[in-house]
Chains A and B, each alone.
Chain A
Amino acid sequence: MAHTHAADKNYYLDQICSLGACAALGVVGVLMYTSGKLSLLLTAPFHPWVLAGGITLLAIALVRGTYLWRLAGRLEVECDHDHGHDHHHKHDEHCDHEHAVDDCGHEHSHAWTPAKYALLMLPITLYLLELPNAAFSADWANRQADQSALEGPGRAVGDKGAKVLGFRELSDAAGDAGKRNYFEGHTVKLKGMFVKLGMPNEFTLMRLKMNCCAADVVPMQVRILSEDKVGDFARTDWVEVEGKVEFRKVAGKEKYYAVLITSSDKVKKTDPEATPYD
């Protein structure tokens, strides 16, 4: 007995919904790429993958749509024999019982389940609502900040002159004794999110390190120690700081943070970067 979906009224409805969801997700994938929104979500190497995925989904929907159209056409003309699929799955000749929807032994679930498509509409709806429209909030950044007290410098650090240094480079150097020795004493200029700590002359400068996607973001923190009280910045502000690099141990732990020793006149409010990722 050839297996068909002729009697399954929901089959074509389900197929049309599947096609629609596929095509819509494909379009959203392409639009996410062209609108530049992906830079909030994923690192650059993943962007072409999403674009390719979107285009592939559109191509698959086109092929499947054409095929379904032909099948539906045949259904109208040849309504007295098998239609639906062209591939025939033979059930047991003695199979005279009713099958549950998912138990027919092959891959299709025939039932049209609106809840499934409602769930698939979520990323599409979010895109239409222009969400997400920003990277992690200031509230999130504030919660991530390490409030631990730092130990003193231990020894005097000489002045080695100005150096151009990236946020990630300096933050990563804190975990390596050789790099700490090399970088300390240089004067650098860094830009990041202002995160208030308990003291008036101390705060954290934060940027985020994204390895693949926003879900794996790790905060990079540089502690700023000012000789005098720093200005009243809002928790959503970005600041630029110029100061001398030191590395200080977290009290009671074998962990170091990069520290910039500065003064309040060298801490300036600045325009935020397009994303907080570095």
Chain B
Amino acid sequence: MEEKAKDFILTFTSIFYEALPFIILGSIIAGVLEHAIPKHWITRLVPKNRIAAIGLSCLLGLVFPMCECGIVPIMRRLLRKGLPLSCCTAYMMCGPVINPVVIFSTWVAFSGFQDGWIMVALRIGMAFVVGFVTANIIDRQHQRFGNDLLVPAARPNAADHDDDDSANQQGFSTKLGLIAETTVHDFIDITVFLTLGALLSAACRLFFTTQDIENLGNGFPVVSILIMMGLAIVLCLCSEADAFVAASFSMLPAAHKLAFLVLGPMFDLKLYFLFTRVFRPRLIWTIVTCVAVQTLLYSLLVHYTLPSHVGLPKN
């Protein structure tokens, strides 16, 4: 029992300290966005055509790479600054996958596998499609329900126009104080939920071994893919590291690994708690349903169309 408790603490603290620097970075960027970047700068950057805007947002991670934890406070401030909800969610879902660091780590992880580059391409492509379709569905929902989909702290506020004006007149020290205030607020707010998510994930990890996962994932395709998706939700791995874990399940078919790699950065236990600081339950469940259903469908499509040797060790 004592050993189990120590393993639990080790897993919890490792998830916590891995995410901590990125939450801090995200909170600082959020503070700067709130107090130093005028709202019209951001709204001016968004293409008028919504489909193009969502498509570009899906690829924003290539320019502004950010992990799934750090992206949440930034997104909340971008929403307040008037960036469309659909664009924010597109960035939130695709950014942690379609960014240079994660693309490189996926390539390294699968470099020893047959046609490893196909795994990289499929991960990027699938994440793009899932994020793009989900963002478009959210756009429709936003047209219907408006900002009721967001918690008050994330809603665009007309009063921010006045803040932009007054922000321009503030001295450096005042601005710095305000940035620090928002940074501290966002950091505390998000870290509380990071702690909760990390605790839950560490508890779940006590019950699985790598061997169990590989055995579970080798059954009937639909069930196995669902199991891999469930594991992605429970394990709460950082998108920079998950490819190495997926690669360690060496004998699993490519589609099973892809389901794990695409869903994990878009939704997991830790992210659920972070989402509650931005989205109302209706929107959270829309995101979860869209992402999960698409990941399952596309993974099955890959499973039945891709040659079986792809993504397996070079035997």
* Chain A interface residues (CB < 8 Å from chain B): 18-19, 21-22, 25, 29, 32, 38, 40-42, 46, 49-50, 52-53, 56-57, 60-61, 63-64, 66-67, 70, 85-91, 102-109, 116, 119-120, 122-123, 126, 131-140, 143-146, 172, 175-178, 209, 211-216, 218-219, 253-256
Closest approach, in angstroms, between the C-beta of B278 and any C-beta of chain A? 11
A-B contact pairs, 19 of them (CB 8 A): A18-B184, A57-B24, A61-B184, A63-B176, A90-B159, A102-B153, A105-B152, A107-B34, A107-B185, A108-B185, A116-B192, A123-B13, A126-B9, A133-B6, A136-B7, A140-B3, A144-B209, A175-B313, A175-B315
Contact with A along B160-176 (1 / 0, CB 8 A): 00110011001001101
Contact A88 B14 (CB under 8 A): no
Give CA–CA (A138, B314) in the complex, Å.
Answer: 32
Determine which of A102, A214, A256 lies in contact with B10 in the assembled complex, contact meaning CB atoms within 8 Å: A214
Determine which of A18, A67, A215 lies in contact with B237 in the assembled complex, contact meaning CB atoms within 8 Å: A215
Chain A residue at smallest Cβ distance from B312: A254
Give CA–CA (A38, B152) in the complex, Å.
Answer: 38
Closest approach, in angstroms, between the C-beta of B268 and any C-beta of chain A? 11
Q: A52-B21, A120-B192, A216-B238 are in contact. List 18 more A-B contacts (CB 8 A).
A: A25-B191, A40-B14, A89-B159, A102-B151, A104-B152, A107-B153, A123-B16, A123-B17, A123-B195, A132-B6, A140-B3, A175-B313, A211-B244, A212-B18, A212-B240, A213-B18, A215-B15, A218-B244
Q: Is B11 an interface position by the 8 A CB rule?
A: yes
Within 8 A of A (CB), among B6-63: 6-7, 9-11, 13-18, 20-21, 24-25, 28, 34-35
Chain A residues in 8 Å Cβ range of B15: 213, 215
Determine which of B25, B159, B205 lies in contact with A215 in the assembled complex, contact meaning CB atoms within 8 Å: B205
Q: Is B251 an interface position by the 8 A CB rule?
A: yes
User: How many Cβ-Cβ contacts under 8 Å join chain A to chain B?
Assistant: 215
Contact A139 B315 (CB under 8 A): no
* Chain B interface residues (CB < 8 Å from chain A): 3-4, 6-7, 9-11, 13-18, 20-21, 24-25, 28, 34-35, 76, 80, 112-113, 151-153, 155, 157, 159, 162-163, 166-167, 170, 173-174, 176-178, 180-189, 191-192, 195-196, 199, 201-202, 205, 209-211, 235-238, 240-242, 244-245, 248, 250-251, 312-315
